[in-house]
Amino acid sequence: MFGTNEKFRLKRGGFTRTGNAFFIDEDYETDTLRLTNYKPSSMVLTSPYLFALKLVSEGKELAYTYFADVGSLKMDCEKGWAQFAMTDNEQVRFRGKGVTLRIELSPAIKTDGTKACDGVYTRPDGSIEGVFGTYGKLLFHSLKGRLTKDCPWSDELGRYERVVFEFEPDSSGEFEGVIIDNMIELPQVSDFTYPPFDDLVKANYESFAEFKKNYLPPAKGYENLYEYTAYFIWTHRNN
């Protein structure tokens, strides 16, 4: 993977940051990106608590490429893009242009369906809360554009047929949103403030650069390995 001009390939390691339990990784079989934040570390190979990240235009899913570095992860397609940045207070921030971002509950084992989801409801302010039992409780909130959900209930199955959240662009073609770890069983970490997106990306670069000062410089020829190893340690720290 080194020498390919890719900072990180997510089959090898997830995209996140220090102090954040959310992470994005690449599905081994489908080569698509997925999001989760299950703290007890359930194996992603078997977890029902995974969300596929998709770019959509006119109801159709679009093929995309992605690039990730310490600051952010960006998905690109022919119609537009979506960019993600993690925060140090249990939020996933994202923005995009030209497309709709679809976030769909997509378990590792397809027959698990939507069993991870206990309930979904829309709050008075338009944000949407999803309750996922012991896996987590998430708040989806739109900062620009429109947020919708598609969660039909099946009496036959005794659960939702599907659990889908979509962040749609406004008249300018842009959207921005956030997912917040909203577990009431845990001390509230998120302060529900939303700094400018570019400031978050900058803060991630600065945090990683400061962290690397704890280590001696790498030997010549091992620079890429050093960066990758430091990234793994940095992202797995609580703060």
Residue 89 has pLDDT above 90, yes or no: no
| Four-point Cα dihedral 150, 156, 157, 160, nearest 10 | 20
Q: What pLDDT is recorded for position 72?
A: 97
The mean pLDDT of 7-36, rounded to a whole number, is 82
Output the average pLDDT for the chain.
89
Instruction: Please report, for residues 50, 89, 91, 111, 145, the alpha-carbon distance to residue 193 in angstroms, rounded to integers and kept in the order given.
Output: 25, 10, 10, 38, 18
Instruction: Produce one character per residue of 178-188: b if its CB has 16 or more CB atoms within 10 Å, e if not.
Output: bbbbbbeeeee
Mean pLDDT for the stretch of residues 93-115: 96
pTM of the model: 0.90
Q: What is the pLDDT of residues 130-168, one digit of tens each?
A: 999 888 889 999 999 999 999 999 999 999 999 999 999
